[in-house]
Amino acid sequence: MWPIKFISSSIGKKIIMAVSGLLLILFLCTHALGNAAIFVSSHAFQTYANALHSLPVVVLLFGLGLLVILLFHIGFGINLFLQNRAAGGNRYAINTRVVKNSFASKTMPYTGLLILLFIIIHVFGFNNGPADMEVSQLVKEYLSNFFYSLFYIFSFCALALHLSHGFWSMLQTFGINHPRYNNGIAKLTLIVPAFFLVFFGAIALYFMSGLGASY
Amino acid sequence: MSDIDLNLQIWRQKKSDSPGAFETYALDKISTEMSFLEMLDVLNEKLTKQGLDPVAFDHDCREGICGMCGTVVNGVAHGPEKEVTLCQLHMRNFKDGDTLVIEPFRSRAFPIRKDLLIDRSAFDRIIQSGGYVSVNTGGTPDGNAIPIPAQTAELAMDAAACIGCGACVASCPNGAAMLFTSAKVSQLCLLPQGQTERKQRALDMVATMDKEGFGNCTNERECEAVCPKSISIRNIARLNREYLMAALSEG
């Protein structure tokens, strides 16, 4: 069976990582778009949340789809990490990295697991709030807590670091590496993580700093 | 021209299955005009005169084109100078009193035979599984009978510059052989003569690469940084494309 052979090959696994990574980035874009309503008003955000949840089938399907994509990304990522540790690992008395700025690529599995921890806390928190509290109030309730917000911002930093290698790596895996586009790709690899860090970080800071107290 | 004194820590291992360890050697008055291999020759003459076993290391042409030599010097494959093999690395890159830790190219797929000498037959087996053109391409064609754009020919030549030394594998944090395999796939898939077996070649060579025990590429770019022939990871991107296309239609 060719799909089985494909996903068991080294390049096949990388392509699964890249495709699932791209879908997760696209999800982050829609998530950011929805959350932008927070900056309008609590009413706008609640209206958006109500509109979304008036379509439970869509929410369920997208949720399950996202879970499958996430499981693929995590499962293959851990598999690759373990295989590579067995094949490479610390095999020299002196390990010197020639490439500058290799911190992000070296820490991919760890930033990934940190993001997973964040996702679990984030999804659990917003699905198990007090029954009488609307989501627009819940977000203020949670993020007004200094340490809760700090954890969010820390996680967004991990996400930015993860993407600062992941975005370029994804395109390389798709085979997109051409002198005409490489400069643009290098810029995008800074812009995309910075955008998510600034945007999501701003939401946390908005409530953390008290600016959003009467939003 | 000046002389330097060096402190060498060299990996010594009798056989593939025997345990190895670092041995320390002091080497005085090494001319900075020497190549790294000549420095090892001086050490070996000294060891032979003392009745000790000389350090085994691979070498052949000593002009950077055969791909035989190579060790890891202070954690960097082929040492600190860019775009040279170990034989072309000169001692002027080091300072008086330096300690050099010399280790073999390590990989799960490259068993150590003795000391710094490794067995790179895994590369040969990757080539054997598709790194050639086996269809009949006829006799010597007229010049320009098959038009190939200059740029394409250059890209194929750039990939063909790979000498198969194994520095890419040695420097890869995952011990992956993607730069080597991608160069060998690229040099053929870019040219008209390589088209007939294009897809099968990508599938077979990647399958052999995986089977030999090399790791997976995670785009760390270390391979490109140490490659003595400056093989670009653009070739890896090309291999990813080649493999995907081949797997979708003929996998």
Which of B244, B245, B109 is closest to A7 using CA atoms?
B244
Query: DSSP label at B109?
Result: T
Which of A167, A108, A166, A14 is closest to B241 using CA atoms?
A14
Q: Give the domain ranges of chain B.
A: 3-103, 121-133+148-250
Chain A residues within 8 A of B108 when measuring between CB atoms: 86-87
Provide the mean pLDDT of chain A.
95
- Residue A190 has, within 13 A of its CA and on its CB side, a CA count of 6
Task: Give B102: exposed, middle or buried? Use CB within 10 Å, 0-12, 13-18, 19+.
Answer: buried
CA A74/CA A115 separation, integer angstroms: 11
Q: What is the mean pLDDT of residues A58-75?
A: 97
pLDDT at A213: 78
Q: Per-residue pLDDT tens, chain B, 251 aa: give them.
A: 699 999 999 999 999 999 999 999 999 999 999 999 999 999 999 999 999 999 999 999 999 999 999 999 999 999 999 999 999 999 999 999 999 999 999 999 999 999 999 999 999 999 999 999 999 878 888 888 889 999 999 999 999 999 999 999 999 999 999 999 999 999 999 999 999 999 999 999 999 999 999 999 999 999 999 999 999 999 999 999 999 999 999 98
CA distance A120 to chain B (A): 26
State whether ipTM is beyond 0.90: yes
Q: What are phi and psi of A71, to 5 degrees?
A: -65, -40
pLDDT at B1: 67
Read off the pLDDT band of A129 (50, 70, 90): confident
The size of the A-B interface in CB pairs under 8 A is 131
pLDDT at A30: 96
pLDDT at A68 over 90: yes
CA distance A110 to chain B (A): 14
Chain A residues within 8 A of B209 when measuring between CB atoms: 10
Give the best residue of A11, A97, A189 to mutate against chain B (max B CB count within 10 A).
Answer: A11
Q: How many distinct helices (H) and strands (E) make up chain A? A: 9, 0
B76 vs A88, A98, A172: nearest CB: A98
pLDDT at B99: 97
Q: Is the dihedral of CA A166, A83, B179, B238 positive or negative?
A: negative
Paired with B3 in beta bridges are B31
| Domain B3-103 sits in CATH 3.30.1310.10 | no
Residue window 40-69, chain A: list those with CB within 8 Å of chain B: none
pLDDT at A211: 87
Residue window 15-34, chain A: list those with CB within 8 Å of chain B: 15
A11 vs B103, B107, B240: nearest CB: B240
Q: Please write the tens of the pLDDT for every residue from A135-163.
A: 999 999 999 999 999 999 999 999 999 99
| Closest B-chain CA to A90 | B173
Q: Domains of chain A, with CATH numbers?
A: 2-87+103-208 (1.20.1300.10)
| Spatial CB neighbours of B105, under 8 Å, sequence gap ≥ 6 | B70, B71, B72, B77, B118, B166, B167, B169, B170
- Residue B19 has, within 13 A of its CA and on its CB side, a CA count of 1
Q: Is A96 on the interface with B (CB under 8 A)?
A: yes
Please give the CATH number for the structural domain made up of B121-133+148-250. 1.10.1060.10
Q: What letters, b where the CB count within 10 A reaches 16 and e where it falls short, cover B211-248?
A: ebebbbbbbbbbbbbbbbbebbbbbbbbbbbbbbebbe
Which of B212, B207, B179, B215 is closest to B109 using CA atoms?
B212
pLDDT at A132: 85
